[in-house]
Structure 1
Amino acid sequence: MLKTIEAVNTVVNNFIWGIPAMICIIGVGLFLSFRTKFIQIRKFPYSIKNTLGRIFDKSEAADGSITPFQAVCTALAGTVGTGNIAGVAGAITIGGPGAVFWMWMSALLGMCTKYSEVTLAVHFREKNSQGDWVGGPMYYIKNGLSKHWHWLAFLFSLFGVLTVFGTGNATQVNTIVTAIDSLMLNFNLASSESLSTINLVIGIIIAIGVGLILIGGIRRIGKVTETLVPFMALLYLILGLGVVLLNIQHVPAVFRSIFEGAFHPAAFSGGMVGSLFTSMKKGVSRGIFSNEAGLGTGSIAHATADITHPVKQGLFGIFEVFTDTIVICTLTALIILCSGINIPYGSAAGAELTIQGFTSTYGGWVSIFTAIALCCFAFSTTIGWGLYGSRCIEFLFGTKTIRPFMIVYSLVAIIGATVDLGLLWSIAETFNGLMSIPNLIAVFLLSGTVVKLTKEYFNKDSDL
């Protein structure tokens, strides 16, 4: 049965992330970039100034919403996760160093796609029966497009509900227990026989934690992510930059392998990666798995922001993709490629490869800090995707289904902690691709609204 599921998923995955998907994702990103005259580049300094500059704004949000910074932290909580650590490692081993280049290209276009998604989500959001702001792809399809397109909203929500249990929960929790298990075995704190019991306890603790945070509502989610995301990002950045600086002599060769390997992958992978398309496919798919540009999920969190104009929050979308992919994913790639560890090209490696990069530079003691960072990344992603799933289930079946969904979602953490999830990673990638289809169609059709709102915000700037 498992072999049948795996075979079917492989066929679907190859189609979803095949040439049509690459054309769709890159094509929509290019289309939006041309329509806004590459706002992600032209207004990048303005975007950074108006996002980083508001980090320390501690003003309270109105009822039913959260502050703009809490919104971006909640979105980053969903995006900055195991995709930045395990996903990048997998992209390099399967697609070669050149996959990093294609990850950058997808991020460059993805910044504009994410900007458009967030702007539309805030513009077309609405208040639910509980008085909370709700928005995202299903709402900008419902409120922005004519009725004969509304089936896309239901399709997105359906794929969203199915995706969150794997992408946002089970695979993330599995990463947490893998990190903790490795740590305990390395320091002889537990035997391999006792790990199953330990994993069950960890799963139960995570389930309770996730449940309490999600049931506390959007304001509690915002407060938790506002604290957790900057801490985990800073910890990872400090440790990662240390690896790069201590191996600075390898940096020129690493960048050469990234740029040349993007077009000649076999030259840098011992022939194990011979296809340009394989390198491109893994770079783009893992990049989107990480930053979610094109999926539309991050806009669900941004739609809850207490903000005066949609474009003001849209600028956070540019900042979010830049932080997630250009900064954190690039740092992960440099950790792996600069450290001099043996890279098993052609195999499916994960977070353990990134951890090897740290330990080969600092020694075994650093595994404590990498485990903490990995756990924070994965836990924050679980919270962020819990919000996404609750909004999707609410759109499909109403507010009465939110609490039962959150309970079930929390309990899935126990499964993620105790079951081997090798196949689930591949299925999660497939559902990510399926979610992107209705969203990209909607963003393409609503691109005129994005241009109109952008002109309006920048006072009909002559550049537009």
Structure 2
Amino acid sequence: MEGFFDAITKIANWIWGPPMLILLVGGGIFLTIKLGFFQFKHLKFIFSQTLGKIFEKNTKGEGSITPFQALSSALASTIGGANIVGVPVAIAMGGPGAMFWMWVTAIVGQATKFSEATLGVAYRERNEKGEYVGGPYYYLKNGIKGSLGKTLGILCAFFFMIEILASLPVQTQSITQTLETINIPPIVSVIGVIIVVSIVVFGGVKRVGEVTEKMVPFMAIIYIILSLIIIICNGSHIPEAFAMIFKGAFTGQAAVGGFAGAGIAQAIRWGSARGMYSNEAGMGSTSISHAAASTDHPARQGLWGVFEVFMDTIVICTMTGLVVITSGTWKEVNTQNAGSATARAFQLQYGKALGGGFLSICVLLFVLSTIIVITFYCRKQAENLFGLSAGKIVTVLCLGGILYGAFGKLDNLFAILDITLALVIFPNMIGLVLLSGKVNKLKDDFFSNPKYYPR
């Protein structure tokens, strides 16, 4: 079996090298051009319709939840442990220049997310319970004619379900390990997670939206404030940090401290991959949440998709990157323990006990919200493929995966996760390219109508 998993790991590493970067970044660039660089042209309007209306209880049009609840559910699945642990890994492997390429992929990823959210609303349906449902399965099978669309939709839904079932034990283990540091046994923490997830997910899309709209702003504000304090206290290093980011993006980074050095290719590879991995642009996952939103036009909800990428990558990931660069902890770790750089920075600023406690709270909230939403997503994929009753069965399987995360051996799951994630992205990105004309028409219809876009 060891040889099998070694082979799986090699395949995963190859897939997440040039092939996946070409697919995700190339696809994002294609959509950016196809949509006329709208995320730049309409930047002010996008923020006025999202950040400017974040607390409005918008009930325009039909839907099951508010646009902000849809955004919160989407962010709950994307803002997770990767934002805290994954960013230092990218910097350790690619140098500070990886941050620049993370920003670049976020910018082109905004066009991808706009497309996913817009199509999610455009092709949504009502299920037997009267809820609005959508996502890649629906826009692929309904938007692309013939057997190709149906095949792409089924593949996307099936592999997404498998990816989530494999991901849940990994997500859960990060919670149990975090709480174990403050003497809470894994069995206690995992039972708590199962109870919370069961109550929320079995409550349907409205309950998921109601819970995440309270959790996400709270956890994001806590993390941003704690990170800003560290960055401000290391303010004298901010100019140097940005110099390293921009210089390292185009010239590579020489070895320093525990950092072995990295070339331009490594900066691009790790920054791009980590950026896409964090904001999930290309997976189509968050279109499931956006599809349930009350909105008067599909493209209006697409604007929230643009803001989602901004919040996840440009704000949260940048906070983490600046924390580890300005504090210098990125130089104190090697590639094997790079994820601990954020914890080290928090401990230096707030003390070992308090800093560890602060970060534990952030990790707990980030990962718990992710577990809630991806369990809901997994249930929806089962309902899409096999009907409502299958959704309940798969939810129970998800709870079993959560339980396994407290005690199981997870070493071999990571490579499987990477491969199944690629198998989700591949049909979705093909579909987005094929449906780019439809997205562009919806975008033009929105921005040419004074009712939606007053001049």
TM bucket (normalised to shorter chain) is over 0.9
Tell me, in whole angstroms, the C-alpha distance in 2 between the residues paired with 1:321 and 1:415: 31
Say whether residues 1:404 and 2:393 are aligned partners.
yes
Tell me, in whole angstroms, the C-alpha distance in 2 between the residues paired with 1:315 and 1:5: 44
Tell me, in whole angstroms, the C-alpha distance in 2 between the residues paired with 1:431 and 1:76: 21
State the match for 2:46 in structure 1: 47
How high is the TM-score relative to the length of structure 1? Answer: 0.92
State the match for 1:311 in structure 2: 299
Tell me, in whole angstroms, the C-alpha distance in 2 between the residues paired with 1:376 and 1:208: 15
Tell me, in whole angstroms, the C-alpha distance in 1 between the residues paired with 2:35 and 2:449: 12
Q: CA deviation at 1:288?
A: 1.4
Greater than 4 Å deviation, 4+ residue runs: 59-64, 268-271
State the match for 1:375 in structure 2: 364
Tell me, in whole angstroms, the C-alpha distance in 1 between the residues paired with 2:392 and 2:248: 48
Deviations, residues 98-139 of structure 1 (Å, cap 9, x unaligned): 211111111010011100111011101111122111111111
Say whether residues 1:239 and 2:226 are aligned partners.
yes
Q: CA deviation at 1:268?
A: 4.9
The range that moved more, 323-332 or 130-139, is 130-139
Say whether residues 1:92 and 2:91 are aligned partners.
yes
State which of 402, 415, 432 in structure 2 corresponds to 1:413: 402
CA RMSD after TM alignment:
2.1
Deviations, residues 279-314 of structure 1 (Å, cap 9, x unaligned): 222212211111001111011110011111001100
Tell me, in whole angstroms, the C-alpha distance in 2 between the residues paired with 1:140 and 1:120: 6
1:276 corresponds to which letter in structure 2?
A: I
The structure-2 alpha-carbon separation of the partners of 1:336 and 1:426, relative to structure 1 and needing over 3 Å to count, comes to farther
The structure-2 alpha-carbon separation of the partners of 1:72 and 1:342, relative to structure 1 and needing over 3 Å to count, comes to closer
Q: CA deviation at 1:350?
A: 5.5
Tell me, in whole angstroms, the C-alpha distance in 1 between the residues paired with 2:263 and 2:333: 13
> Contact 2:190–2:402 (CA<8 Å) still a contact in 1?
yes
State the match for 1:66 in structure 2: 65
> Contact 2:63–2:295 (CA<8 Å) still a contact in 1?
no
State the match for 1:260 in structure 2: 247
Tell me, in whole angstroms, the C-alpha distance in 2 between the residues paired with 1:284 and 1:146: 32
Tell me, in whole angstroms, the C-alpha distance in 1 between the residues paired with 2:130 and 2:242: 50
SS of residue paired to 1:267: coil
Deviations, residues 153-183 of structure 1 (Å, cap 9, x unaligned): 111111101111233x22221111222223x
2:328 corresponds to which letter in structure 1?
A: G
> Contact 1:153–1:438 (CA<8 Å) still a contact in 2?
yes
Q: 1:335-350 to 2 correspondence within 5 Å?
A: 335-341=323-329, 343=331, 347-349=335-337
Deviations, residues 6-27 of structure 1 (Å, cap 9, x unaligned): 3122222123212222121111
> Contact 1:115–1:315 (CA<8 Å) still a contact in 2?
yes
SS of residue paired to 2:331: coil
Tell me, in whole angstroms, the C-alpha distance in 1 between the residues paired with 2:17 and 2:210: 39
> Contact 1:257–1:268 (CA<8 Å) still a contact in 2?
no
> Contact 2:60–2:296 (CA<8 Å) still a contact in 1?
no
Tell me, in whole angstroms, the C-alpha distance in 1 between the residues paired with 2:288 and 2:348: 40
Sequence identity percentage: 39
> Structure 2 stretches of 5 or more lacking a match?
none
1:381 corresponds to which letter in structure 2?
A: T
Tell me, in whole angstroms, the C-alpha distance in 2 between the residues paired with 1:247 and 1:94: 23
State which of 359, 373, 388 in structure 1 corresponds to 2:377: 388
Tell me, in whole angstroms, the C-alpha distance in 2 between the residues paired with 1:318 and 1:46: 12
State the match for 1:28 in structure 2: 27
Q: 1:89-168 to 2 correspondence within 5 Å?
A: 89-149=88-148, 150-167=150-167
Deviations, residues 224-258 of structure 1 (Å, cap 9, x unaligned): 00100000000001000000000011111111221
> Contact 1:273–1:279 (CA<8 Å) still a contact in 2?
no
The range that moved more, 132-141 or 55-64, is 55-64
The range that moved more, 257-266 or 339-348, is 339-348
Q: CA deviation at 1:398?
A: 1.3
Q: CA deviation at 1:152?
A: 0.9
Tell me, in whole angstroms, the C-alpha distance in 2 between the residues paired with 1:44 and 1:418: 47
SS of residue paired to 1:370: helix
The structure-2 alpha-carbon separation of the partners of 1:303 and 1:91, relative to structure 1 and needing over 3 Å to count, comes to same
The structure-2 alpha-carbon separation of the partners of 1:36 and 1:63, relative to structure 1 and needing over 3 Å to count, comes to closer
> Structure 1 stretches of 5 or more lacking a match?
185-189
SS of residue paired to 2:50: helix
The range that moved more, 228-237 or 142-151, is 142-151
The structure-2 alpha-carbon separation of the partners of 1:59 and 1:102, relative to structure 1 and needing over 3 Å to count, comes to closer
Tell me, in whole angstroms, the C-alpha distance in 1 between the residues paired with 2:427 and 2:386: 19
State the match for 2:436 in structure 1: 447
State the match for 1:457 in structure 2: 446
Q: CA deviation at 1:395?
A: 1.5
> Contact 2:92–2:330 (CA<8 Å) still a contact in 1?
no
1:293 corresponds to which letter in structure 2?
A: A
Q: CA deviation at 1:263?
A: 3.1
1:279 corresponds to which letter in structure 2?
A: A
Deviations, residues 159-216 of structure 1 (Å, cap 9, x unaligned): 101111233x22221111222223x2xxxxx4xxxx7xx0122111101211111001
> Contact 1:94–1:345 (CA<8 Å) still a contact in 2?
no
> Contact 1:203–1:415 (CA<8 Å) still a contact in 2?
no
Say whether residues 1:203 and 2:202 are aligned partners.
no
1:412 corresponds to which letter in structure 2?
A: G
The structure-2 alpha-carbon separation of the partners of 1:354 and 1:430, relative to structure 1 and needing over 3 Å to count, comes to farther
The structure-2 alpha-carbon separation of the partners of 1:423 and 1:285, relative to structure 1 and needing over 3 Å to count, comes to farther
SS of residue paired to 1:263: helix
Tell me, in whole angstroms, the C-alpha distance in 1 between the residues paired with 2:383 and 2:256: 47
Q: CA deviation at 1:343?
A: 3.3
The structure-2 alpha-carbon separation of the partners of 1:422 and 1:255, relative to structure 1 and needing over 3 Å to count, comes to farther
Deviations, residues 42-87 of structure 1 (Å, cap 9, x unaligned): 1121111111222212356999611111000000000011111111
State which of 277, 284, 293 in structure 2 corresponds to 1:289: 277
Q: CA deviation at 1:352?
A: 2.6
